[in-house]
Amino acid sequence: MCQMFAGQPQSNYDYQSRSIRLNGLSTSVRLEQKFWEILDQMAQAEQTSTPQFISTLYSEVITFHGEAKNFTSLLRCTCLIYQQKCIDAQHAEEASIATIAS
């Protein structure tokens, strides 16, 4: 099992910084490449750009919590939640197909 994780391409966990605007202020967000790929997918699903998606998420966090403590960690957790929802949806679809087939 460790080979599956340890043997992954190093590019998955290389850091990449991107400049974005949050509430009109320019900032830089540094995440592992794999997280950027997931954020890009999420933005595409929402039919928006990745910077706009992140800016909207930031604004919503401010609305809910009054601040955005450790925003990069929030982005990572957002990606994990999104991936889990995709897995759950796939399992539900497979179960539905299995029910129909039987």
Domain range for 35 is 21-101
- Rounded to an integer, what distance in angstroms lies between the CA atom of residue 2 and that of residue 7? 8
Asked if the structure places residue 5 within a domain, the reply is no
| 32's tokens | 């592992």
The closest alpha carbon to 21, from 54, 67, 68, 64, belongs to: 54
Please give the torsion angle defined by the CA atoms of residues 89, 95, 97 and 100, in that order, rounded to the nearest 10 degrees.
-140
| 8's tokens | 């992954």
Asked if the structure places residue 79 within a domain, the reply is yes
pLDDT, tens only, 30-56: 999 999 999 999 999 999 999 999 999
For the entire predicted model, the pTM comes to 0.85
Q: Is 56 helix (H, G, I), strand (E, B) or coil?
A: helix
- Rounded to an integer, what distance in angstroms lies between the CA atom of residue 28 and that of residue 22? 10
For the domain that residue 55 is a member of, what is the CATH number? 1.10.3990.20
Give 4's DSSP letter.
H
What is the percent of the chain where pLDDT is above 90?
67
What is the percent of the chain where pLDDT is above 70?
96
Asked if the structure places residue 96 within a domain, the reply is yes
